[in-house]
């Protein structure tokens, strides 16, 4: 696959050490994911990043799968990461069972689709993603109403990870992969 707009070319052949990740991506998505073709230049670091996100996405995570996907999608939008918006929108659609939240997340403040807990988390994600972060007392108070300190810490790690990933991809112009277009769920009325 050739990229004409990338100013740093993707790798055509990945290091052997990334074969397990490439095989898993091919099995799940039908192809190696675009960021892997850039991260492949630093396989050890890529493994660390993969382990980090794997921990945040573990079965016993403090945040629900839908909330994790919601936060990752919003941070992706804030960072203008085409690949991350695509991949995280697919994950949010799969986890919520519909496209309604995916379509509303960029305007969550004006949508009735989000719970108070989700609203507090989304406000926090936006505040943490600002440069520099702008977490005011109101946001802190809202978070503490809905989440434990342990959960807030894990949420902060998830948001920070997604900022790293989205900023890496956006800076290198890593393109979307058309993943969300493959969502097979049926959207329903809000």
- Reported as a single tens digit per residue, the pLDDT across 139-157 is 999 999 999 999 999 999 9
Q: 154, 63 in Cβ contact below 8 A? A: yes
Q: What is the pTM of this model?
A: 0.91
| Residue-level pLDDT at 184 | 60
Length of the chain: 190
Output 186 or 149, whichever has higher pLDDT: 149
Mean pLDDT value of segment 157-172: 97
What is the distance between the alpha carbons of residues 24 and 86, in angstroms, rounded to a whole number? 18
In this predicted structure, the answer to whether residue 173 has a pLDDT above a threshold of 50 is yes
Closest CA to 82 of 131, 46, 35: 35
- Reported as a single tens digit per residue, the pLDDT across 49-70 is 999 999 999 999 999 999 999 9
Mean pLDDT value of segment 156-177: 97
| Residue-level pLDDT at 181 | 82
DSSP 55: H
102 Cβ neighbours under 8 A, 6+ residues apart: 73, 89, 92, 93, 96, 180
Split at pLDDT 50, 70, 90, the class of 1 is very low
Q: 76, 166 in Cβ contact below 8 A? A: yes
Average pLDDT of the chain is: 93
In this predicted structure, the answer to whether residue 38 has a pLDDT above a threshold of 70 is yes
């Amino acid at each position: 696959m050739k990229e004409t707009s990338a100013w740093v070319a993707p790798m055509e052949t990945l290091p052997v050490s990334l074969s397990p990740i490439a095989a898993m991506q091919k099995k799940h998505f039908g192809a190696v994911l675009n960021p892997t073709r850039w991260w492949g230049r630093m396989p050890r670091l890529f493994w660390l990043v993969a382990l980090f996100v794997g921990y945040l996405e573990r079965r016993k995570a403090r945040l629900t799968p839908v909330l994790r996907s919601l936060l990752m999608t919003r941070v992706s939008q804030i960072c203008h990461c085409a690949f991350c918006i695509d991949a995280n929108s697919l994950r949010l659609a799969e986890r919520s069972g519909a496209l309604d939240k995916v379509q509303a997340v960029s305007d969550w403040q004006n949508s009735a689709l989000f719970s108070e807990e989700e609203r507090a988390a989304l406000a926090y994600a936006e505040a943490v993603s600002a440069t520099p972060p702008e977490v005011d007392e109101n946001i802190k108070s809202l978070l503490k109403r809905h989440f434990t300190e342990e959960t807030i810490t894990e949420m902060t790690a998830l948001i920070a990870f997604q900022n790293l990933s989205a900023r890496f991809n956006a800076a290198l112009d890593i393109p979307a992969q058309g993943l969300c277009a493959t969502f097979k769920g049926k959207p329903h009325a809000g």
